[in-house]
Structure 1
């Protein structure tokens, strides 16, 4: 009887330990691919800059378009993106 109780207790402790283990983090990036290099500036309505997070280690730049099309991911490495962001930041600092 003591052996059965010990095995039952050990099984319960093992089940609790296994159940409480952390899962591998899932990567949840909005931009599944590298992104496009350029979008016509006239079509850009809004730019969202999403910094790296624990769930997605990539810098993501998502633009919402005026024509109602699906949001596009811009490549952070493209010259267009860097130039556009610098202009937007300069414009923002001048408004303050």
Structure 2
């Protein structure tokens, strides 16, 4: 093999190794780029709070919708979202 072929092969083999950081299912960046501020409380099936981490310095709140199971990001600063979170906190033993 030539030198350039060997280098190209090593580069190709190194690419998957560099992209697999963080383990399976762990996002390497913030998931919420746009956040919903309008009240949609009756449409919510489930709410997941993702705490700040080294990958995203902001708290993210991802809600699953009842109708189609779609996911939407909620603005943690919106008053109605804070009320939903307080209710969820009260229900958690």
TM norm structure 1 = 0.62
Tell me whether 1:90 sits opposite 2:85 in the alignment.
Answer: no
Give the equivalent residue in structure 2 for 1:62.
62
**Bigger share in helix:** 1
Paired positions, count: 66
Q: Counterparts of 1:68 and 1:80 in 2: how far apart (Å)?
A: 22
Q: Structure 2 stretches of 5 or more lacking a match?
A: 1-27
Structure-2 separation of matches of 1:77 and 1:70: 22
- Which residue of structure 2 lines up, in the alignment, with residue 28 of structure 1? 29
**Residue in 1 that maps onto 2:76:** 76
Q: Which has the larger radius of gyration?
A: 1
Runs of 4+ in 1 over 3 A off after TM superposition: none
Contact 1:62 1:73 in 2 (8 A): yes
Q: Distance in 2 between matches of 1:36 and 1:87?
A: 19
Q: Secondary structure at the match of 2:92?
A: helix
